[in-house]
Amino acid sequence: GLTASTAYTFTVRARDAAGNLSAPSAAARATTPAPTPADHEPPTRPVKLRGTVDGSRAVNLSWGGSTDDVGVTSYDIYQEDSRIHSVPGTRTAAHLTGLRPGTVYTFTVRARDAADTSSPDSDAIDLTTTAAPGAPASTAPTDLRISNRVQGKEYAIDLDWKQPETGGEIPAYQLFIGGRLTTTIVWGATPPKGRANYRLTVTDPRGTRYSMKLRAKLPDGKWGDFSAQRTVVLGD
């Protein structure tokens, strides 16, 4: 309830049960900050997201800065749909640590302004950390592509990906949407070789956003590594 850009002097006195007051404390002086200008527009999307792998547990990211009608206060880095790191709005690079060896990560960046409004996501970038010595080859599907189109009153979402080399046939895949298992894809005949594809239909409205990734069931019955995550917006 104070006034902006105003100097104040504060003291504190103690009161006991009988109502007696102590002597005042030493004075503390403070000046309230200037008012924040009204911020009506979200920042623009960060551009040209780039990245390099730094060994088995870290990566470096950099991007082109965003603009805002008042100012960008921070950049938030997302791994899939989770915010994992933030840097001040004066920086357009980040060093991320604590990652796992031999793992594919999908990163995006959003700018944020003083009104706590975020920009749209930057383009995504996939980075795979260096595998630990002696670790087996990755079993993640790669080159996942997703598209969508209107089909009557529904949307058809088509997924297409390159299958991992596992030394045998892959009998099934698990599809995760928004981080949750949505369906298990089981081939009705002989499993495909090379690239595989799958279609699902949804009834959600135009503009609905889906984040998808999948993993293969390996010939030994275990589930393999996750693919990179891809995002699709219905109607785009």
- In a shared domain, residues 173 and 112: no
All residues at 6 or more sequence positions from 8 whose CB lies less than 8 Å from its CB, including other chains: 2, 29, 30, 31, 32
Q: Where a domain ends, among 83, 98, 128?
A: 128
- Within a domain: 42: no
- The CATH number of whichever domain residue 196 belongs to comes to 2.60.40.10
- Within a domain: 228: yes
Q: What is the pLDDT of residue 152?
A: 87
Mean pLDDT rounded to a whole number for the chain: 92
- Within a domain: 133: no
- Within a domain: 71: yes
- In a shared domain, residues 156 and 222: yes
Query: Which residue's entry shows tokens 């104040």?
Result: 8
Contact of 173 with 184, CB cutoff 8 Å: yes
- Within a domain: 161: yes
Give whichever of 41-45, 67-71, 184-188, 217-221 has the largest mean pLDDT. 41-45
- Within a domain: 93: yes
User: How many angstroms separate the CA atoms of 115 and 73, rounded?
Assistant: 9
Across-strand partners of 186? 172
- Pick the range with the lowest mean pLDDT from 10-14, 46-50, 77-81, 187-191: 187-191
- In a shared domain, residues 207 and 146: yes
**Total domains present in the chain:** 3
Query: In Å, what is the CA distance from 190 to each residue of 42, 85, 172, 186, 223?
Result: 50, 44, 11, 10, 19
Q: What is the pLDDT of residue 85?
A: 95
pLDDT in tens, 113-152: 988 899 999 999 999 999 888 888 889 999 999 999 998 8
Q: What is the pLDDT of residue 133?
A: 86
Query: Which residue's entry shows tokens 């003083």?
Result: 114
- Pick the range with the lowest mean pLDDT from 36-45, 47-56, 109-118: 36-45
User: How many angstroms separate the CA atoms of 199 and 212, rounded?
Assistant: 13
- In a shared domain, residues 105 and 159: no
- In a shared domain, residues 66 and 146: no
- In a shared domain, residues 147 and 227: yes
Given a cut of 90, whether residue 185 has pLDDT beyond it is yes
- In a shared domain, residues 60 and 111: yes
Task: List the domain range (segments joined by +) for residue 196.
Answer: 142-233
Q: Taking the complete model, does pTM exceed 0.85, yes or no?
A: no
- In a shared domain, residues 56 and 22: no
User: How many angstroms separate the CA atoms of 110 and 43, rounded?
Assistant: 9
- Within a domain: 40: no
pLDDT in tens, 64-82: 999 998 889 999 999 988 8
Residue 21 — very low, low, confident or very high, per pLDDT cuts 50/70/90? Answer: very high
